[in-house]
Amino acid sequence: MVLFAAGMFGGIKISVSSQTLPSDLLPMRTDLPTVAAIMTRDVVSTDPDIGLDLTLAAMIEHELTCLPVINRAGRLVGMVSRTQARAALSAADGDSQRVRDVMTGYVYKIGSPDTLLRAARIMLEQQISTLPVVDDGQVVGIITTTDILRELIARLGADAVEAR
């Protein structure tokens, strides 16, 4: 059953079914836009020792659903979502909790030279909507499913999107 089908994206017909796509389904392409072309470079992040209340406030202020957790050495050590922060803060001792107490320690990430297709594949397979962009061990950006969809719509053009 096809849930979504979009025309051509960089010469590749993309269709997503209800089954998870294996990593080798689509070949890697070098003629596709790179992550660097559309990633957000001004990354809002948090520290593992910051309180959840401050982190949640930053997410709300910047209209973000999750933040990368970067330690004092500048290394990505996790991700924390609004859902995680809200759940922990609703607990009795939530005000004293730190980001490190609820963050996800294993983080899927991508490099800036990677293609948008690779980013989309990781997001789809791992069922995540945000990928930190890491080059040489440092977070240099962030990319979301919204960023990729904007690029897809721009490449397909308004006529293709409206012609459902």
From CA 123, how far away is CA 101, in angstroms rounded?
Answer: 24
DSSP state of 78: E
Q: Under DSSP, is residue 37 helix (H, G, I), strand (E, B) or coil?
A: helix
Q: What is the CATH number of the domain that holds 79?
A: 3.10.580.10
Q: How many domains are there within the chain?
A: 1
In a domain, 84, yes or no: yes
- Cα 17 to Cα 22, 102, 151, distances in angstroms: 12, 32, 21
117 against 160, higher pLDDT: 117
Domain that holds residue 88: 31-162
Containing H/E element for 65? Answer: none
Which of the listed ranges 30-44, 120-134, 150-164 does the model predict with the highest average pLDDT? 120-134
Residue 6 has pLDDT above 70, yes or no: no
* Residue 96 pLDDT: 72
> Is residue 88 domain-resident?
yes
**Section 117-138 average pLDDT:** 95
Closest by alpha carbon to 79, among 114, 34, 43, 130? 130
Q: Please indicate, yes or no, if residue 132 is contained in any of the structural domains.
A: yes
Does position 151 have pLDDT exceeding 80, yes or no? yes
- In one-letter notation, the amino acid at residue 22 is P
Per the listing, tokens 């979504």 go with 4
Over its C-alpha atoms, the chain yields an Rg (Å, rounded) of 18
